[in-house]
Amino acid sequence: MTNTRSKWPAAQHLQQAADQLRDLMPAIEAPLNGYADPVADWLDQAANEMAWLAPFHDHEGGYKPWRVATRIAHTVLGLPDPDTCTTCHTHPRKKEASA
């Protein structure tokens, strides 16, 4: 487990999902229980290293890892679409005008 936690609001769901995975690990049947801790560590790492930059845009290097991390977190937590989540994406994206 990561010793430090991000204070950025965008990290909230990733850290909650990491905690939940660690709590549920004993109840998950083998061999899947072996994946819970590494995935939880990865979610914590993504939260610590990337949350301050969220939201990412399609052309940015952090877009795909952040997108995967928020999807995993939302699945673990049973939350709806992470792309419209105001917690994971703390700054509203500007809508491009359609032609």
Instruction: Tell me the C-alpha distance between 4 and 16, whole Å.
Output: 14
Residue 37 is assigned to a structural domain of this protein = yes
- Output the pLDDT for position 86: 86
Residue 69 is assigned to a structural domain of this protein = yes
Residue 89 is assigned to a structural domain of this protein = no
pTM comes to: 0.81
- Output the pLDDT for position 23: 93
Residue 17 is assigned to a structural domain of this protein = yes
Residue 94 is assigned to a structural domain of this protein = no
Q: Contact 68/29 with Cβ under 8 angstroms?
A: no
- Output the pLDDT for position 97: 39
Q: Contact 11/66 with Cβ under 8 angstroms?
A: no
In total, how many domains does the chain have? 1
- pLDDT 10s digit of each residue in the chain, 99 long? 546 788 988 899 999 999 999 998 888 888 888 889 999 999 999 999 998 887 788 888 888 999 999 999 999 999 998 888 888 877 655 444 344
